[in-house]
Amino acid sequence: MFQRLKEKWQVSWPRFVLIFCTFATGGSLCGYAGRKLLSLTSLGREDGFLYWVVYIVLITFLWPFCVLLISIPLGQFLFFRNYLRKMGRRITGKSSNSYEVREMRLKVDNSIDMKQLQSQAEEKVVRIAIFASGAGSNAAKIIEHLKGHKDIKVALVVCNKPGAGVIGIAGSNHIPVLMIEKEQFFRGDAYLAALREHRIGFIVLAGFLWKIPAALIQAYPGHIINIHPALLPKYGGKGMYGMKVHEAVIAAGEKQSGITIHYVNEHFDEGEHIFQATCDIEATDTPESLAAKIHALEHAHFPVQVEKLVLKR
């Protein structure tokens, strides 16, 4: 039973023990607080049925607060906050969005994969998340390159654009997809709890166009990388993505362009450079033909660089 719960929660054994202790201590605290509160009223055990009904109603309301309280010193607050949210949604019959349903379905499809994962030296494998909002050709190349890798697993695709090509790519590779919303990403906890639940150790941005919030950068220091389709520091910054970059490069009459792989900080395209590769631009090149050259460079180098960086992290 414990093994099944551990798999369901996707946590390590030490964390499982802490969660279990939180449930046990929170439950005891709840019973104690319920009895104390009832002792302040005129109700007593001698009132029989009425006493027990009031007691049960009382502890039903007290329980979430008690487990949340205990979860703080045990370092399990995010787990329990999520757990209670899910419970709340189940009770009210609401789902925060339809994509969660999709993610749950993918998780079920992924159950065979989860069993395989158990048999791997679990803590050794670095689980990476690919953040992407576009066609996902880079994501596809990375997934293909790392398929069957003994030390790295693409464990999650994070996407902010319904209908993006990358969602289908993740689905056909049995990788769960987490659909994110702007409000929660920028004003909430940047989905940190979800990333922790998937035990993500490294994040790769492959055509992800939102700025990464400070909460995420602080949680993954030096563990988030991005690919940009130009030779940074030129042609980077807010609004410079995809075809807009290639149009600007061609309009400026550049003789060369290329790709930059860099660490992510709180400013668009400004993190420390890791790798660059170049290609020549001919007089006959258009933004479209340049885009094709850049994609070829990205596909040749990005998966290899991702593997190198994850292994040396």
- Feature table: binding site: 136-138, 182, 226
Q: Is residue 142 within 8 Å of residue 136, measured between CB atoms?
A: no
Q: Report the residue from 26, 34, 136, 303 that binds ligand GAR according to the rule CB under 6 A.
A: 136
Strand order in the sheet with 256-263: 177-179, 152-159, 126-131, 200-205, 224-228, 256-263, 273-280
| Amino acid symbol at 113 | D
CA angle 190, 191, 194 (to 5 degrees): 160
Cβ nearer to ligand GAR, comparing 176 with 207: 207
Q: Report the residue from 82, 110, 137, 173 that binds ligand GAR according to the rule CB under 6 A.
A: 137
Instruction: Give the C-alpha distances (Å, rounded to integers) separating 240 from 56, 230, 232, 293.
Output: 58, 10, 11, 18
- Residues 48 to 87 in contact with ligand GAR, rule: CB under 6 A: none
Q: How far is CA 258 from the centre of its chain?
A: 29
295 is catalytic: no
If binding is defined by CB under 6 A, does position 303 make contact with ligand GAR?
A: no
Residue 165 CB, nearest approach to ligand GAR (Å): 7
The three-state secondary structure class of 112 is: helix
Cβ nearer to ligand GAR, comparing 19 with 225: 225
**Active-site pick, 145, 198, 223, 228:** 228
Cβ nearer to ligand GAR, comparing 59 with 175: 175
Q: One symbol per residue from 174 to 213: x for binding ligand GAR (CB under 6 A), - otherwise; what is it?
A: --------------------------------xx------
Residue 180 CB, nearest approach to ligand GAR (Å): 16
Q: How many Å apart are CA 185 and CA 243, to the nearest integer?
A: 25
Q: How many Å apart are CA 299 and CA 313, to the nearest integer?
A: 22
Q: How many Å apart are CA 244 and CA 247, to the nearest integer?
A: 5
Q: Report the residue from 134, 213, 271, 303 that binds ligand GAR according to the rule CB under 6 A.
A: 134
Q: Report the residue from 69, 135, 248, 279 that binds ligand GAR according to the rule CB under 6 A.
A: 135
Q: Which residues are annotated as catalytic?
A: 228
Binding residues for ligand GAR (CB under 6 A): 132, 134-138, 206-207, 227-229, 241-242, 245, 294-295, 298
